[in-house]
Amino acid sequence: MRIGVITFPGSLDDVDAARAVRLAGGEPVALWHADHDLKDVDAVVLPGGFSYGDYLRAGAIAARAPLMQDVVTRARQGLPVLGICNGFQVLCEAGLLPGALTRNSHLHFRNRDQVLRVERDDTSWTGDYAQGQRIVIPVKNGEGRYVAAPADLDRLEAENRVVFRYVDGNPNGSLRDIAGVTSENGRVVGLMPHPEHAIEDLTGPSTDGLGFFTSVLKAVVTA
């Protein structure tokens, strides 16, 4: 399976995401933000970083990149898309996911290993987890506080679209401890923590992040 990884100016973790895809058994495909070519990939990862230096708002400029027009179109047709950290911000700015990511409530950059609880095990990116499972994934952000209007938060809860929650401490003040959300069809997922940094015992706090990438490979086969 071919999994595209988009590089924007200021992306930091595109190589890490590609490595995660490779370790999961997929073929990573490099995608450039300025192109109009998804290269016939089966899924797309928007990696972490600071696209365009986070000017205007984090992810706001990257959301208007030429390739994102194609990502939005294909995502609405069912293409699995994962947004990690800055990628999550881009997906929200592009209108593929609800809400927004704002400055951390304590106004500090936070970098630590974070416990998450899996709330949905039936999205394209979480099929290899169990609902209620706790996983350890690094978090590193300065603008990771998930916010939305109270009515929108209630709707997300009612529609069961919260995929991950922070447990054992909220690192950024996200409302309702939300760490990640999904689209209505469960094909698009965004989260602030970094699963691509938890794929090997040598370099990560766990290997819990590898399940994102093995999950989507199985989801593509069965789609």
d(CA 35, CA 159): 35
CATH of the domain at 6: 3.40.50.880
> Is 92 known to be catalytic?
no
> Is 159 known to be catalytic?
no
d(CA 196, CA 200): 9
Reported as a pLDDT band with limits 50, 70 and 90, residue 28 is very high
Q: Which of 33, 92, 119, 194 is catalytic?
A: 194
Backbone angle region of 176, left / alpha / beta, with phi > 0 → left and psi within -120 to 50 → alpha:
left
The pTM score is: 0.96
> Is 196 known to be catalytic?
yes
Q: Which of 85, 93, 119, 143 is catalytic?
A: 85
Query: Residues 127-185: pLDDT tens digits?
Result: 999 999 999 999 999 999 999 999 999 999 999 999 999 999 999 999 999 999 999 99
Counting the structural domains of the chain, the total is: 1
- How far is C-alpha 58 from the geometric centre of its chain's CA atoms? 14
Q: Which of 93, 143, 196, 197 is catalytic?
A: 196
Q: Return the closest-CA partner of residue 118 out of 170, 167, 48, 79.
A: 167
Query: Residues 71-114: pLDDT tens digits?
Result: 999 999 999 999 999 999 999 999 999 999 999 999 999 999 99
d(CA 94, CA 98): 9
Q: Give the per-residue pLDDT at 57.
A: 78
- The whole domain housing 183 covers 2-222
